[in-house]
Structure 1
Amino acid sequence: MTPILFNTYRSVQGFNKRVRFLILHYTALDFAGSIKALTGSGQVSAHYLAPDPSDPSYQQAGFKQMNLFNLVDENDRAWHAGASSWDGRSNLNDSSIGVEIVNLAREDKGGMVFPPYHPQQVEAVTELAQNILARYPDISPVNVLGHSDIAVGRKSDPGPMFPWLELHQAGVGAWPEAETQRKYTEQFQQQGLPGREKMLEAFKHYGYEVAAAGGDAGFTTLVRAFQMHFRAGDYRGALDVETAAILFALLERYWPKRLALIKL
């Protein structure tokens, strides 16, 4: 075989990492069900699983403390995102790391019930995310996402109980600056909300897929997905001043050149 010289010449700039996104999910199953679903013969997997240490099925499996489980090697493509899109990229399984968090979110009487996350889960997921971000610098704050962000209308995880602000304060993920948000709140209170076309332009510039959001139902679904991430106190999907101010504050912080393209 012809020798392969691995170290004689090395590219130092003309490449980047495969991983550009960190996607967070809930399992909607207990630990035992999550392990079965994520390691069995089904068409779903994730790179990591964060159990709930208070889950009886976790304790019955012999675990007494918080652990994180690596189910798929980071170099491999886990099947966690499904049909997905963010900022013009699709099939995000190709370019993401997926973290599943055990949480018994469920549908009840036609609506979703979202239980809180265990504090030890949040701490563990935060530490894991910090480690991942340190190793994959192409994962920008706006590319730390929930499944509901990349599969609008199809998914709701990790849901409105997930503490995105707490993660941001630990250096993980995006969040609007309070002063900038107040500025847009005052502007929209005085001038009125931007029209739907402007809002769709803003959502698209931030990263959301808006192709299906032209009608009333689609627009409500899009707004709801955004609110579950950034305004969890009210995620009914109704556009209001607070929601619009958060979106434009995010654009000003992370995408100022894109914001300049929107003529308010």
Structure 2
Amino acid sequence: MRFALLALTALLLAACTGGQVIDDSFSSRSQSSRVQYIVVHYTSTDLAHSLALLTQGEVSSHYLIGDSPATVYRLVDESRRAWHAGDSAWQGRTWLNASTIGIELVNQGYEQGPHAAAWQPYSEAQIEALITLLKDLVKRHELPIDSIIGHSDIAPQRKVDPGPLFPWQRLAEAGLIRWPDSAAVAREQARFAVALPDVRWFQQQLQQLGYSTPQSGELDKATRNVLAALQMKYRPARYDGEPDAQSAAILQVLNQKP
């Protein structure tokens, strides 16, 4: 009986591997999850259109979180690659589809008005559902703090999602990302108000934090876009990409080793 069971097991293994028997009785201790980061997006459209785009179109994400109700849809298995990041870079790694989990939140993004953009807020239920999902993903994939980033972080030259109304500080309060200490920022801001660093310093600090940033010493459009992405995340009241004392202070505090 035991021999028959072993033979049946071998046959099933062979059927699953194209005829070759694979022995799974050993497992290496030197391994980790393929997932290095989790990327947060907004969909720029409503739920029905979001589901159509992410299941029938050329883009996809692992998860989609609706707005009313805040249903969490799993669209791609975490073991497989979803097409959500595109041309992207973070902390020296590029083309991040292969090493990330993508989460889309149903949100219209913004409408451009005559004087300013009007952004759609996220619902409280959406953010609660997101934080619950993130905590589970971080635990299962054994991700370190600061592994959760926005689409605008990894592609600042072409993307602004999840936008200035996304509550990054709520994620920090949940222990998912670091947040610059306000007292430390105030101290550094007072110092930088006396003497603002040059553009090359900003470029170096942005690159150290993880952003793909020109290192030219010139305040070009690409550098402004990267600085605006940082500002939108940590100082959403003003994200014009202009170097200033508060942005310098935020960078300085975030880049200080604990």
Interval of TM-score (by shorter of Structure 1 and Structure 2): 0.7 to 0.9
The CA RMSD over aligned residues, in Å, is: 1.8
Determine if contact 1:212/1:218 at 8 Å carries over to the other structure.
Answer: no
Rounded Cα–Cα distance in structure 2 between residues aligned with 1:202 and 1:212: 10
Tell me how far apart the structure 2 counterparts of residues 146 and 205 of structure 1 sit (CA, whole Å): 17
Match of 1:61 in 2: none
Partner amino acid for 1:141? Answer: I
CA contact (8 A) 1:48 1:100 kept: yes
Structure 2 match to 1:48: 63
Aligned to 2:149: 145
Q: How does 1:249-260 map to 2 (within 5 A)?
A: 249-253=253-257
Kindly indicate whether the alpha-carbon contact (under 8 Å) linking 2:202 and 2:243 is maintained by their aligned counterparts in 1: no
Sort the Cα spacing of 1:209 and 1:235 in 2 relative to 1 into closer, same or farther, 3 A.
same
SS at match of 1:74: coil
1:183 matched to 2:187:
yes
Selected match of 1:82 from 86, 95, 100 = 86
Q: C-alpha distance in 1, partners of 2:62/2:210?
A: 23
> Post-superposition shift, 1:248?
1.0
Deviation track 1:48-69 (CA, whole Å, cap 9, x = no partner) reads 001111xxxxxxxxxxx43200
How big is the shift at 1:237? 1.5
**Which residue is 1:102 aligned to?**
106
**Does 1:225 pair with 2:229?**
yes
2:48 counterpart residue number: 32
Question: Mapping of 1:57-136 within 5 angstroms?
Answer: 65-109=69-113, 112-136=117-141
TM superposition shift of 1:39: 0.7
What is the aligned counterpart of 1:161 among 156, 165, 170?
Answer: 165
3-state SS in 1 of match to 2:236 = coil
Match status 1:4 vs 2:22? yes
Higher alpha-carbon Rg = 2
Distance 1:212 1:71 in 2: 38
| Aligned counterpart, 2:15 | none
The answer on whether the counterparts of 2:152 and 2:229 sit within 8 Å (CA) in structure 1 is: yes
Residue identity opposite 2:209 in structure 1: Y
Contact 2:64 2:104 in 1 (8 A): yes
Matching residue of 1:59: none
Q: Which moved more, 1:23-32 or 1:141-150?
A: 141-150
SS at match of 1:75: coil
**Which letter maps to 2:169?**
L
Percent identity of the aligned residues?
Answer: 37
Runs of 5+ unmatched residues, structure 1: 54-64, 255-264
- Distance (whole Å) between structure 1 residues aligned to residue 112 and residue 65 of structure 2: 24
2:10 match: none
Question: Can you give the 5+ residue segments of structure 2 that lack an aligned partner in the other structure?
Answer: 1-18
Give yes or no for contact 2:200–2:215 (8 Å, CA) kept in 1.
Answer: no
Between 105-114 and 79-88, the greater mean CA deviation after superposition: 105-114
Q: CA 1:194–1:31 in structure 2 vs 1: closer, same or farther (change >3 Å)? A: same
8 Å contact 1:144–1:174 — kept in the other structure? no
CA contact (8 A) 2:146 2:176 kept: no
Judge conservation of contact 2:209–2:255 (CA < 8 Å) in 1.
yes
Aligned-partner Cα distance in 2 for 1:206–1:70: 31
1:221-249 C-alpha deviation (Å, 9 max, x unpaired): 11111111111111121121111111111
Q: Offset at 1:36? A: 0.9
SS of the equivalent of 1:49 reads: strand
Select 1:206's aligned residue among 209, 212, 234: 209
Deviation at residue 153 of structure 1 after TM alignment: 2.1
Cα distance between partner residues in 2 of 1:212 and 1:113: 33
